Chains A and B, each alone.
Chain A
Amino acid sequence: MLISRKRFLQISAGSIAGIALSNLWLPKLLSASNATNGKGRLPIIWFQAQACSGCPVSFINTEYPGVDEVLIEVIVLEYHPVIMGATGDLALSVIDRMIAEESGKYILVVDGSIPLEEDGLYCTVGEKDEKPITALEWINKISESALAVVAVGTCATWGGIPAAPPNPTGAVPASQVIKDKPIINIPGCPPHPDWMVGTIVNVLKYGIPELDSLGRPVMFFGPDKLIHDNCELRQYFDTGIFAMNFGEKGCLYELGCKGPVAHCDAATRGWNSGVNWCNRSGGPCIGCTEPFFPGGAGSGIYEKLPGAEVPGLAGINASANTVGMALGAAVVAGIGAHAAARVISTKYRQYKDEKNREKGTPYILKEKEEEEDK
């Protein structure tokens, strides 16, 4: 089962590319499932490192199938620190049993980043001979015997907030610790329950879904899932109506929306049983599924896209419009964002010239500019 990550991506992209699944695929998959009673279910060890538990809480928000159905029909949730009945050594003994008896058969799900500084002592779980065992040791040990690894949440996929500058604990994503196993990345802070449950069901029924170059399932994060292209506020953008303050109706671009560079299907799937999603609520997309989230020191989550400083893209801090383009292009690895960025830059220039005359500059920059005027 030792294949390189690159080879893994090639295989999975090649073999499953034919299966294009719509938003409605999840119920179909479940009804197609005959799996019951431990046979045909996917054994899972869900391990938390530097996590906030937002990922498991989102996981149990799954509506169809409900979490009880998932536990009974789809997976065998062998270990999960937030849900499991067992505690202490009894809980950890489950992991030992899995490694001994189910080697190569289970999936390791990781949420949270993994701290490397201080030999990993910033996160410990359990102890042996009175000495703490680090999350790093656990993840190495559990992944060694795993069939595959699913990293859920932006911390486990890209590093997330714990890894944001100055990264006090040397936090890294799962892919920087686990080198020799296939890894599926399901980003999001937190991920939508359907992204997690859907990926797991897909692995069980059809094998590993098609992944993009960052290891994300294309069916949820593909190039056609650009928030900006699917946003119901897009009409406001196209007609140049921009919300200048929170709570106003209009495109949220001016309030820092990262929709033009963020990929996920939240806009069409909806959050929390579909009652709402980020931009519909009035709170701009913060790009929580992307490797640039939450940005570096000196940046701001609600700062307008052009001019945003992107960690990991060294040297890119050029003037307004080029950065928007570079950001989009780099983040999505050249899959169609050039067009979006170009649209933005022209639209935005036009719009800003007009707005500046009419309304003055947006609030965030206002004081700075006033100060500079003095």
Chain B
Amino acid sequence: MAKQIVTVDPLTRIEGHLKIKVEVENGVVTNAFSSGEMFRGWEIILRDRSPLDAPPIAQRICGVCPMPHGTGAILALDDALNVKPPTNGRIIRNLMLAAEFIHSHLLHFYHLCALDFVDITAVLNYKGTDPKLNKVKDWIQADIDAGVASAGAPFLPRYEGDYIQDFDVNIQAIANYLKALEVRRKAHEMLAIFGGKMPHCQTLVPGGVATMLDIDKVIAFKSRLSEIRGFIDSQYIPDVVAVASLYPSYFKIGGGVGNFLSYGGFPVDEDGNRYYTSGVYLDGNLSDFDPKYVAEFVKYSKYSSGSGLYPLKGETVPDARKSDAYSWLKAPRYNGKVVEVGPLARAIITYLKGTDPDFKSLIDSALTALGLQPEDLISTMGRHAARALELKLLADKMDEWVNEIDPGKPVHTKFSIPMTSDGMGLTEASRGSLGHWISIDNWRIANYQAVVPTTWNGGPRDDSGNMGPYEKALIGAPVADVNNPIEVGRIIRSFDPCLACAVHIMEGDREILKFRVC
């Protein structure tokens, strides 16, 4: 069969503007291109502003994951201002970031990905008594009966394909699609209890948090956490297992590069130890992470400037019409190698390091239950499983953390802004490893830089032609019907793409060499 080109643009149910183009031969993907399609120039806008503007503006890089960006910014500022948050400040930051993980992971599974697997039309055959399901059923049925073209919008139309046949699994998933809307809203409420509002919270400042803390806030947080933990344990994990067990083939496809990176995140003490461990898994070997090995390549990115440089040394100029370039994302590489970041990367590195016995035993029991080998995790469905399992453990951990808050103690350490300084903030975001860098000169931001998870995962080819993780994951994947390439969406969405975050630029014409590398 001749080669067919399939373009999926826009790839919906993600954050931002993403185009995926694949070449399909005999029903199998043989080539793939991932293109970020939007550019705003956040780092340019941050320049010459007060350093304190970094947290509120950096948060607004992304409305789905503002907390990680806010966290990257305050960690970079803590470093630059040489200030340490008090214990309460550190814990509240962790709790807010973790609440973001809850919102983000639930949104990802139920509201972004589930429609790739779950047959929404199953609700038309629902005979039970759940009022919400009956409302959905009546709504879609009435529109179908009336011959309305938009029947079931926004859930229909959809690609046709091998949706779940099991009636009970479909109904359970649809019911929890609706329930999860509430649960993730409550995760935002939790975050707002300490952060004022969400998306884009108010209290992220260097030296801790700006929260006016009292015991009522702690209690309000705890009560929501306990409800959410109930949902994760009794609904989310079983739903992920149910979908995973119906699609065993997706434990074999969408694996991709097999190299992984984690910066580590959630500081658990004043010595800098973190709940998520950092590390690199490269060509089958585990090693410590060292930021000096990070370089960004731009041969196929829409920038007309130097390639293969440490992020903060690059001179970067946007060029919307550069020939051969097909993405606004750059191609970051670690020691020249393509790596994947995200929940799966954290899982692989934590599992192999053996630093968290709870995590290892949970992964092992999940593998046993599904009849899988550890290497099967490096796959489309493995990403969903890793995300679900890490959320369960994180939510359990939050219950310990919230009990460590002492409402009588300060949440903030006084700071002052130095005339010149540099700072680096590395954290784990819901979607993977995130780094922010800041350089301060004359009390103003001289330079700002963010290297984000979706840049690692969704970037284009590097100068040597090596594909990025999205592209690599698509190679060899089946596409049963080129007019309904449902498989492409399933594989790419398992990474949880977030494109607004991923496109970034730094003008490197001054002060660039001052950045300290760890």
List residues of chain A with CB under 8 Å of any chain B CB: 36-39, 43, 48, 50-58, 60-61, 63, 66-68, 71-72, 76-94, 97, 101, 115, 118, 121-127, 132, 161-162, 164-169, 171, 189-190, 245-249, 255, 266, 271-273, 275-284, 286, 288, 294-295, 297-303, 363-364, 366-368, 371
Q: Given that A61-B185, A87-B8, A164-B45 are known contacts, is A122 also in contact with B38, CB under 8 Å in the complex?
A: yes
Contact A118 B321 (CB under 8 A): yes
Interface size on B, residues (CB 8 A): 105
Q: Given that A68-B178, A246-B412 are known contacts, is A63 also in contact with B200, CB under 8 Å in the complex?
A: no
Chain B residues closer than 8 Å to A167, beta-carbon distance = 45
Centre residue among A94, A115, A271 by max chain B CB count within 10 A: A271
Decide yes or no whether B33 CB sits under 8 A from chain A: no
- The residue on A at minimum CB distance from B192 is A272
Chain A residues closer than 8 Å to B204, beta-carbon distance = 283
Decide yes or no whether B146 CB sits under 8 A from chain A: yes
Query: From residue A157, how far is it (CB to closest CB) to chain B in Å?
Result: 15
A–B complex contacts, Cβ < 8 Å, 12 sampled: A53-B63, A71-B154, A76-B150, A85-B115, A85-B156, A122-B40, A162-B41, A168-B44, A189-B60, A275-B192, A279-B196, A301-B50
Query: From residue A337, how far is it (CB to closest CB) to chain B in Å?
Result: 22
Chain A residues closer than 8 Å to B151, beta-carbon distance = 38
Contact B142 A245 (CB under 8 A): no
CB under 8 Å from chain A, chain B span 294-329: 318, 320-321
Q: Which of B12, B61, B318, B414 makes the CB contact (< 8 A) with A81?
A: B12
Decide yes or no whether B29 CB sits under 8 A from chain A: no
Contact B202 A284 (CB under 8 A): yes
Contact A53 B44 (CB under 8 A): no
Contact A273 B143 (CB under 8 A): no
Q: Which of A266, A299, A366 makes the CB contact (< 8 A) with B50?
A: A299
Contact B13 A276 (CB under 8 A): no
Per-residue interface assignment for chain B, residues 419 to 439, with 1 indicating a CB less than 8 Å from any chain A CB and 0 otherwise: 100000000000000000000
Contact B60 A78 (CB under 8 A): no
A171 and B44 CA atoms in complex are apart in Å by 13
Q: Given that A37-B142, A275-B192, A286-B56 are known contacts, is A97 also in contact with B47, CB under 8 Å in the complex?
A: no
List residues of chain B with CB under 8 Å of any chain A CB: 7-17, 19, 37-42, 44-45, 47-50, 52-53, 56-57, 60-64, 66, 89, 107, 111-112, 115, 120, 132, 135-136, 138-139, 142-143, 146, 148-151, 153-159, 178, 181-182, 185, 188-189, 191-205, 207-213, 220, 318, 320-321, 410-412, 414-419, 443-444, 485, 489, 500
Q: Given that A273-B189, A297-B49 are known contacts, is A189 also in contact with B200, CB under 8 Å in the complex?
A: yes
Q: Which of A54, A88, A126, A280 makes the CB contact (< 8 A) with B63?
A: A54
Query: From residue B288, how far is it (CB to closest CB) to chain A in Å?
Result: 33
Q: Which of B62, B202, B418, B489 makes the CB contact (< 8 A) with A52?
A: B62
Chain B residues closer than 8 Å to A71, beta-carbon distance = 154
The secondary structure that dominates the B interface is loop
Q: Which of A77, A278, A367 makes the CB contact (< 8 A) with B196?
A: A278
Chain B residues closer than 8 Å to A278, beta-carbon distance = 196-197, 202
Contact B49 A271 (CB under 8 A): no
A123 and B205 CA atoms in complex are apart in Å by 31
Contact B40 A169 (CB under 8 A): yes
Contact A302 B50 (CB under 8 A): yes
Contact A121 B320 (CB under 8 A): yes
Chain B residues closer than 8 Å to A246, beta-carbon distance = 203, 205, 207-210, 412
Q: Given that A57-B199, A363-B414, A364-B417 are known contacts, is A80 also in contact with B154, CB under 8 Å in the complex?
A: yes
A53 and B497 CA atoms in complex are apart in Å by 13
A147 and B415 CA atoms in complex are apart in Å by 52
Contact A87 B13 (CB under 8 A): yes
Q: Which of A37, A85, A164 makes the CB contact (< 8 A) with B143?
A: A37
- The residue on A at minimum CB distance from B152 is A85
Chain A residues closer than 8 Å to B64, beta-carbon distance = 52-54, 57
A90 and B201 CA atoms in complex are apart in Å by 36
